Amino acid sequence: MPAIAIIGAQWGDEGKGKATDLLGTSVDYVVKFNGGNNAGHTVVITQPDGSTEKYALHLLPSGILTPGCTPVIGNGVVVDLAVLFEELEALEARGVDVSRLRISANAHVIADYNRTLDKVTERFLGSRRIGTTGRGIGPTYADKMNRIGIRVQDLFDEKILTQKVESVLELKNQILTKIYNRRAATVEATVEELLAFADRLRPMVCDTGLLLNEALDRGETVLLEAGQATLLDVDHGTYPFVTSSSATAGGACTGSGIPPRRLEQVIGIVKAYTTRVGEGPFPTELHDDAGEHLRKVGAEYGTTTGRPRRCGWYDAVIARYAARVNGVTDFVLTKLDVLTGLEQVPVCVAYDVGGVRHDEMPVNQSDFHHAVPIYEYLPGWWEDISGARTLADLPPNAQAYIKAVEEMSGARISAVGVGPSRDATVAIHDLI
């Protein structure tokens, strides 16, 4: 099998964890290729006795919950080691086998000074803040690009680690003390904090690019699971209101060491409405009761930060853009059940910017800030759809909604989520 990527088609929180979980045992490797513990996957698994178990993962790929699957943290990830071991211990306590986890020697680690810098920079920016998760993601990627980052492999050479920390702190401490009036970080404490994880980390670390390419050579299936989403991608998103990594299909290759021609399927996850956390433009955002309704019914509160998510209607312009940027082959439309009970369901088909219609994303960010959605209104449905498993089980208006959204969004819809658990899914086309 070729490699398959799963990417978010909006601003994150589309339900990528559930989609990964859907592919279940047909996947041999699940790779996280970007981001860090800014992500939040909620996976709900139905036990054989019918009870449900909910797992909130921030750093680990959701494939960690699939028996027989090898989870991989790729070179494109930034790793908070304390969070990594906290998550591993919590899963082990619930009986999940985590022994197969593999971590790239080239992944960067998030040091304490970068967590501090993320938070103080946001405070310093005030009304111009990005609304980051405050986990040190941006500063750690900035260090990577500045070539002053600390990589996982540095933890296995104390001399090199100390040298790197010494040189990076010469710069960071100037910023911490002189700009932000914070305490300086010490070389000893920083090195000690990182080295404390080295022994536990060592057996998990390898050349994950080699591991994954060899798996593909053997005909195994590798799933590349994006953190965040297309509109949060540092290149293709609503810059500067983006995360600092490549969350699109291209990033799946650079962040894992799998070459582009091995990536043959790209599954775009798109929610039946839109949400966003943090700052930045969001044309279909609702500031009224309808927005509150989506937030309440859809339980739209951040997995990582608990922040209420901004909510709005489905935006087909964004979906088309995501289909194009990522080469989406299949969409999984999630949370359709949240739209049940509406008289009419608005879908944004284009934008009006100063009297000019835009069918595609405006070239200039400032036009996107001023984009007014042009809606098409689709008839709603009232029936409980959570038990539907095929298209024919859905009320005609829900079927028509799926068909209309598919036509507008640039790729076929292969599955539709109708409830939180794995089996609450309408299957339309085989995903693998």
Q: Which of 21, 28, 41, 330 is catalytic?
A: 41
Other C-beta atoms within 10 Å of 244: how many?
25
Name the residue nearer to ligand IMP (CB basis): 131 or 362: 131
Instruction: Find the shortest distance in angstroms from Cβ 13 to ligand IMP.
Output: 5
Please list every residue from 209 through 268 that binds ligand IMP, using CB under 6 A.
228, 232, 241, 243-244
Binding residue for ligand IMP, selected from 27, 165, 231, 277, defined by CB under 6 A: 277
Name the residue nearer to ligand IMP (CB basis): 221 or 230: 230
Phi/psi for 373 (5° steps) reads -65, 140
Q: How far apart are CA 273 and CA 294, in angstroms?
A: 8
203 CB-near residues (< 8 Å, 6+ apart): none
Name the residue nearer to ligand IMP (CB basis): 84 or 155: 84
Instruction: With beta carbons less than 8 A apart as the criterion, state whether 3 and 33 touch.
Output: no
Q: How far apart are CA 319 and CA 411, in angstroms?
A: 9
Instruction: Find the shortest distance in angstroms from Cβ 8 to ligand IMP.
Output: 8
| Count of residues in contact with ligand IMP, rule CB under 6 A | 20
Instruction: Find the shortest distance in angstroms from Cβ 277 to ligand IMP.
Output: 4
Of 7-15, 63-71, 409-417, 420-428, which part binds ligand IMP (CB under 6 A)? 7-15
Binding mask 31-50 for ligand IMP (x = CB under 6 A): -------xxx----------
Nearest residue to ligand IMP, scored by beta-carbon proximity: 278
Instruction: With beta carbons less than 8 A apart as the criterion, state whether 371 and 352 touch.
Output: yes
Instruction: Find the shortest distance in angstroms from Cβ 132 to ligand IMP.
Output: 4
Name the residue nearer to ligand IMP (CB basis): 130 or 316: 130
- Element (DSSP H or E) covering residue 323: helix 316-326
Region for 210 from its dihedrals, namely left if φ exceeds 0, alpha if ψ lies in -120 to 50, beta otherwise = alpha
Query: Could you say whether residue 12 binds ligand IMP (CB under 6 A)?
Result: yes
Q: How far apart are CA 166 and CA 187, in angstroms?
A: 6
Instruction: Find the shortest distance in angstroms from Cβ 138 to ligand IMP.
Output: 4
Name the residue nearer to ligand IMP (CB basis): 129 or 324: 129
Of 5-13, 120-128, 218-226, 312-320, which part binds ligand IMP (CB under 6 A)? 5-13
Note if 41 is an active site residue: yes
Name the residue nearer to ligand IMP (CB basis): 141 or 351: 141
Name the residue nearer to ligand IMP (CB basis): 191 or 272: 272
For the record, the structure tokens of 114 come out as 């970068």
Instruction: Find the shortest distance in angstroms from Cβ 215 to ligand IMP.
Output: 26
Q: How far apart are CA 333 and CA 336, in angstroms?
A: 7
Other C-beta atoms within 10 Å of 337: how many?
21
Please list every residue from 122 through 141 that binds ligand IMP, using CB under 6 A.
130-133, 135, 137-138
158 CB-near residues (< 8 Å, 6+ apart): 191, 195
Note if 13 is an active site residue: yes
Instruction: With beta carbons less than 8 A apart as the criterion, state whether 130 and 241 touch.
Output: yes
CA distances for 1 relative to 16, 48, 415, angstroms: 21, 30, 20
CA distances for 393 relative to 298, 352, 384, 429, angstroms: 22, 37, 11, 15
Name the residue nearer to ligand IMP (CB basis): 40 or 63: 40
C-alpha torsion sign, points 378, 382, 383, 386: positive
Query: Could you say whether residue 19 binds ligand IMP (CB under 6 A)?
Result: no
Instruction: With beta carbons less than 8 A apart as the criterion, state whether 314 and 347 touch.
Output: yes
Q: How far apart are CA 91 and CA 326, in angstroms?
A: 32
Binding residue for ligand IMP, selected from 149, 251, 278, 291, defined by CB under 6 A: 278
Q: Which of 13, 80, 154, 337 is catalytic?
A: 13
Residues that bind ligand IMP (CB under 6 A): 11-13, 38-40, 130-133, 135, 137-138, 228, 232, 241, 243-244, 277-278
* Residues tagged active-site: 13, 41
